[in-house]
Structures are given as structure tokens and as C-alpha cells.
Structure 1
Amino acid sequence: MKTIILNQPQELKLIHQDFDDTLAPHEALLKIHRIGICGTDYHAYRGRQPFFSYPRVLGHELGAEVIALGSEAQNGGIKVGAKVSVEPYLNCGECQPCKNGRTNCCESLKVLGVHIDGGMVEYLKVPVNKLHTSEKLAYEQLALVETLGIGSHAVQRANVTEKDIVLVIGAGPIGLSVIQFAKINGAKIAVMDFSEQRLAFANQAIGIDVSIVPNENYSADDLRKTLGGNLPTVVFDATGNAQSMMKAFSYVCFGGKLVYVGLFQGEVTFFDPDFHRREITLLASRNALPADFKHIISKMESGEINTKAWLTHEAAFEDLPEIFETWLDPKSQVIKAMVVL
């Protein structure tokens, strides 16, 4: 079986390895057709990904075909030949958060391509309950569902409505996924990023109300002026940058919410009296839930989400080790790169 493995930072290789296609009762065997490349993969390649060890097979944004089912997986509605998106969060089902329906917060969560080997392979075995089908969507669309799930879950965490003024900091793929669902929920949306190109893409692909290219001294007073005298009711930080994440506290209105979608390896500090005075709600958002996958597939099938705009770069599976590093260059202007098998 052809496999692409990250042996160590900056060492991505195509190898051939044996594959045991014997299935456990609740497993499905998948033929991988599309692999989306995300920030996690880039961080791992650079050696900057938290909770990560090498060597590792990357890949958790997957569009795949079901080619076999285990003995107890054949009566669950998934059929051989189905096109599926893979929910890559393997939870235990036994811990307190799992029993409370918070499977994304499983105490022993294993994410494909992060904690265990993922989908940069020809064939992959996964629990059948981690598959989400669509008869309408193409494989590249199904590979986008997990990325969109991060934004969908974050927006639901904040309970965004049409009454909200939302600021999204960071217009990379995760920020774009937040923008997408904040817009679906009817909020007014401002987006902050140092890249005018990313802001232009966000406006063209999704549609935003305000674009902000901040300077180093950009302040809450500047933001208030930009927003006509108001501050955001909800701020999403999708940067994974420590300085940005801590500065984001100053942008939240009295009684507002701050949602951390990105993360970094370190400590967050803030001035507690100001935090209390404004009664800010601080939320973390982690991965997504099964309901998010179903919600996203429905929105994609109805045409409410324009997936074509997201896909800016593509490579054949065998070419990826040579091409991958070029996608790290800001001049390549990658929004979402897709690997084709």
C-alpha cells in the first residue's frame, strides 16, 4: 500500500507498506480519494504541532469510498460503494464527557493524523460510526467537511445569532470556516488579518461586512471607530498566535464572548479586573461533534456553502512529498490544498 509518512520535521516520504485488510466487526474499509491539507499538517511538518510525535502518517480531512464492511457494520445504513466524509476524532465512549455527549472532549481522544496514523494512505480502516455519507457531494467536497466542522462547532459554542457583531481574527482556513457559519447565522461580520489577499478572498468567497488590516498599535478604540461606535459581541481568535489571543480580550464588548479556536503551546494571561468588570465569557472550541458533520453536509448539498472557492491548489498523491513545502511559501497563496488519489 502506498503511504506518505512524515518521518521527522521536513522529511515527508512516499513508501510502500503491507496492509492488513481484516476488519473488526464495527469497522469499515475505505479507499481514500481526497486528502485536504490543513494547518495541523503544516505545523507538524515544521515541527510546531502540539501533542505530536514522529514518525506519523498525516491526513485527517478525508473524502473516501466504502469498499468493505465488518460483520456488525452492515446494518447501520452505510453501504459498500458509499461516498463518505470521515469524522477523524476517535473517542472512547466510556469517559464522562463521552457519556455526556461531548465526544470531542473525550479524555483519551485520538485524532487521525495527529495522535495516531491518518489518511495519507490508499486504504484506511475506521469505525463505521465515524462515517458521514452523501449521494450528492464529490470527494473533494467531503474532504472539506472536517475543516468546516471546526468553524461550525465554534459558532455553535458562542450561540451566534443575527443580533451579534462578530469579529474573526485570522482569515486562514479555520477563520474562514468560522466566517462561513457566522454568516449563515445572520451576524454582522468583521474580519481582521495582516493579509489583504486573505481578506479579499474571504469577501469574495463568503462575503463579509468589514475588513481590517491592523497595524501594531491597533486598539479597541480603533476597532470601535471601525464598527461605528460598537465593539464585537463575539470575538473568535483563529490565529494560534499568543500575542493575538491575549490582545483579543480588549476587543470584546461588555457582556461579550471570546472564543479561542486556534491554540498555541503556552499560557494565556489577562488582566482579571477588566475581565470581571466587563463580564466576558471565555470559551475554548475543540474539534467538532457528529451533528456538525451532518449539518455541514446538509448546507453543502443545498448550495448554501460554496466549496469550489476554497480549493486553490491540488497535487497527485505521489507528487506530494516534493510539492508540500512549496505550499508553505506565502507567495503560493494557498487557501486549501487537496491531494488526489
Structure 2
Amino acid sequence: MTLENTKSPAVAQSMVCGTVVEPGVFTLETRDLPDHAPEGWALIDIQAVGICGTDYHILEGKHPFLNYPRVIGHELSGRIAESTGSWTAGQLVVVNPYLSCNACRACTRGKPNCCSNIEVLGVHRDGGLCSRIAVPQQNLYPATGLTELQAAMVEFLAIGAHAVRRANLTAEDRVLVTGAGPIGIGTALFARLSGAEVHLMDMSRARLDQATAKFGFENTHLAGTDILSGPLQDGFDVIFDATGNAAAIEAGFPLLAHGSRYVLVSVVKETISFSDPEFHKRETQIIGSRNATREDFETVMSAIREDRIDTGALCTLTLQLEELPNKFSELAKDREGLIKAIVTL
């Protein structure tokens, strides 16, 4: 895997972008600085960008919906570059990276997160790991009361908040979150805020110990161990999968209680199979959870402002854009102790 640093000296009207040219090749390239936005859009000066599993998968050539080269970055905080509409120059905003068409059946029924023509920044079109980007104004939310780093963490937390909302959790539910990476931790945090009893499962004891030490999750289980005994013998009312692993998803079905819900937060390319008699006798609901909506972003921002989410514990490290070519491959290879790395611009 080759990482290149080809950053050119900054000049007027130019900017540096973090681009995956092809699998294994990440470079900093110079592009023209956008100086205008289409009608209804706004120019955003990016302040911070969270690096997530999607970005690592793009680097590793594992993303199924991407054409190279691609400027990555979809967990974005920024400031309004020029006053427009109701937005004021310098105002800090959170960017919703899911660009919807507003015309398909999903959009007209209030589900823009699963728009049939969706374009995700950093995936279907160039993202925000650069100095400036143009974004539809409907995809901007005021980051009132948040710092630039906190605003860059809203999107990945909104994934978990959306999944929890899809599950209609109550305080009576016993919940298992499989996968203790960033998305799993975010899901577990919002499941706990719902009042549910939350358990975590992962293949890594180090990740589970980190979840206990940083966030107070005491009910942790190593994947592959028999946990259906004692008080857990009846299984879990709700399971959230955040593993991104087909075998792990299939292994979750026997852990479901009767009358349960299985929420698939992660997506895999493989076909998932399960026993239909076991599925039916449990009257299980299988729920897909994709992206997030304005409501979920607002839920996350409110939780951060009210100190119900410890963003300091979530942010493992920060680095400047110029450091990323020498760090990206290392971060991608060893993520066991990493929750969230944030690039500042």
C-alpha cells in the first residue's frame, strides 16, 4: 500500500484535497478553490473531518459503490464562507452528507436518508477532506453550542441515533450491540439513553475493555462465547449489528428473544441466510437502518449540548491534513484502540 504526499504550496484561489487515487494510494492534491455555489447551495469552509470505516474501506479498495479517484470525507464541520439565505458568513455548521433528490418516492414520503438517487459526499461524489466544498443548504444544520471537533462527530453518532429510533426502544428492552467500533459505541450510547439494558459484544477484548473504561458499559461479551445462560437465557429483545461482517450477522439470529427486533446497521456485500422456522417462531422483525435524517442529527446535537454524550472520550486523536499521508495506512491497519480520528484543516 503506497501513500504519497504531493501537497503543493498553497496559492491564492487554490486548495489542498485528500484524495484516494486508487486502492492503496492516498495523496494530497491541489485543486481550484470553489468561488461560487449553485442556487440553493452554500460554500462551506471545512474545519474538521472525521475519518471512518467508509474512508478506510475506500483506501483498501473494499467499498462497493465507489469510482476512483475520490476526495474522501463525509463527517464534516465547517463555517459558512459567504452569507446566503438565512446563513451568515463564519457561522459554524454540521453537514449532512446525504444528498437526496427530493423527488423519488422515499423522499416524498419523508425518508431522504434512503433516497433512490442518493449521492453521499466522499462516496458517490467528492467529499469534504479539503478547504472548501459546496453543499445544498437543506443539508446544513446550525452547530450552536458545539465546538468544531464536536460538530465533526455528529454524523457518525447520528447513524446510531437513527438505528435506535428505528428500533423503537423502551426501558423494558434488553439490548445487544454487536461490534464495539465507532458506530457500535454510538448506537450503544443512544440505546442507553433510551433507558434500555445495554450489552456489548465484540471479538476484541481490548475494545470491550475500552468501552467499559471510557463509557461505563459493564455488560460486555466476547464474540463466540455462549452467553445464553442465567438471566440472559431467553435472549435479547433487540440486537443491533454494527460489525460489517456477514458471519457475525448470521451468528446473531440465535441470540434473539421471542418477539424481538434485529436492526442491521452495518451493510455487507454477501447474502445473509437464517433458519426460517427459528425466525418465525420468534416473530422476529428484521429492520434495515440506513444513514440518518435531520431529526437524528438534531437528537445528537442536543445530547452533546446537554453533556449526555462525552465527545472527549470518543475523539481518540486529532491530526492536521498534512499529516494524513503518513498516518492513513497505519490508522487503517490498527483500529483496535481507535474510536474516532479527526483531521483539522
TM-score greater than 0.5 by the shorter chain: yes
Distance in 2 separating the partners of 1:289 and 1:331: 27
Is 1:162 equivalent to 2:176 in the alignment?
Answer: no
Whether the 8 Å CA contact 1:326–1:332 is kept in 2: the answer is: no
Is 1:31 equivalent to 2:31 in the alignment?
Answer: no
Q: CA deviation at 1:273?
A: 1.3
AA in 2 matched with 1:269: S
Match of 1:148 among 152, 157, 175: 157
Look up the match of 1:307: 311
Is 1:281 equivalent to 2:285 in the alignment?
Answer: yes
Look up the match of 1:207: 216
Match of 1:186 among 189, 195, 216: 195
State the secondary structure of the residue aligned to 1:230.
coil
AA in 2 matched with 1:232: F
Corresponding pairs, count: 331
Match of 2:85 among 74, 83, 91: 74
Look up the match of 1:234: 238
Identity %: 38
Q: In structure 2, do the counterparts of structure 1 residues 226 and 129 end up closer, same or farther at CA, with 3 Å as the change threshold?
A: farther
What TM-score does the superposition give when structure 1 sets the normalisation length?
Answer: 0.94
Distance in 1 separating the partners of 2:223 and 2:266: 19
Deviations along 1:72-127, one digit per CA (max 9) or x if unpaired, are: x413xx32211111000000000111000001110100000011100011001101
Deviations along 1:265-294, one digit per CA (max 9) or x if unpaired, are: 121111111111111100110000111111
Look up the match of 2:12: none
Q: CA deviation at 1:339?
A: 0.3
Whether the 8 Å CA contact 1:179–1:206 is kept in 2: the answer is: no
Whether the 8 Å CA contact 1:60–1:118 is kept in 2: the answer is: yes
Gaps of 5+ in 2: 1-14
Q: CA deviation at 1:23?
A: 1.8
AA in 2 matched with 1:103: P
Pairing 1:81-230 to 2, within 5 Å after superposition:
81-215=90-224, 218=225, 222-225=226-229, 227-230=231-234
What TM-score does the superposition give when structure 2 sets the normalisation length?
Answer: 0.93
Whether the 8 Å CA contact 2:206–2:336 is kept in 1: the answer is: no
AA in 2 matched with 1:201: Q
Distance in 2 separating the partners of 1:210 and 1:89: 34
- Over aligned residue pairs, what C-alpha RMSD do you find? 1.3
Look up the match of 1:295: 299
AA in 1 matched with 2:298: K
State the secondary structure of the residue aligned to 1:338.
strand
Look up the match of 1:43: 57
Q: CA deviation at 1:207?
A: 2.4
Distance in 1 separating the partners of 2:334 and 2:31: 34
Structure 1 residue runs of 4 or more that deviate by more than 4 Å after TM superposition? none
Deviations along 1:8-55, one digit per CA (max 9) or x if unpaired, are: 011000111113311222111111110000000011110111211111
Gaps of 5+ in 1: none
Match of 2:248 among 241, 244, 248: 244
State the secondary structure of the residue aligned to 2:157.
helix
Distance in 2 separating the partners of 1:226 and 1:259: 24
